[in-house]
Amino acid sequence: MSWVDELRRLLGRMKKESPGGISCQAAVDRLFEWLDGELDDPELAAQVGTHLETCARCYPRLAFERSFREALERVADGEKTPDELRTRILESLESEGFSGS
């Protein structure tokens, strides 16, 4: 068996198996509880974490939610948006037809 065939076989198995032993839907349903450390069952927490951290379909959602929470924390801490970024955002909005008023 060539390395290409072996890679195809492994990728095929990965598609059939759910990381952490749970489905994408089950992991995403518990995403916020997991992020907040509110899953009381350590085994379930480990399964959800393994799935979210290793699943190619679910990881982008996890990364987004983490980034979003970090942004909210910065705002809550009173961190101001850099002027250059603010200007770029406003220019982009105006170019799409949004007005500043």
pLDDT of residue 30: 96
pLDDT in tens, 52-83: 999 989 999 999 999 999 988 888 777 677 88
| pTM for the predicted model, two decimal places | 0.59
pLDDT at 86 over 80: yes
pLDDT of residue 10: 61
Domain positions in the chain? 3-95
pLDDT of residue 50: 94
Query: Quick one: which of 13, 17, 43, 11 has its CA closest to 30?
Result: 43
pLDDT in tens, 18-56: 788 899 999 999 999 999 999 999 999 999 999 999 998
**C-alpha distance from residue 56 to each of 4, 24, 42, 64 (Å):** 21, 10, 23, 13
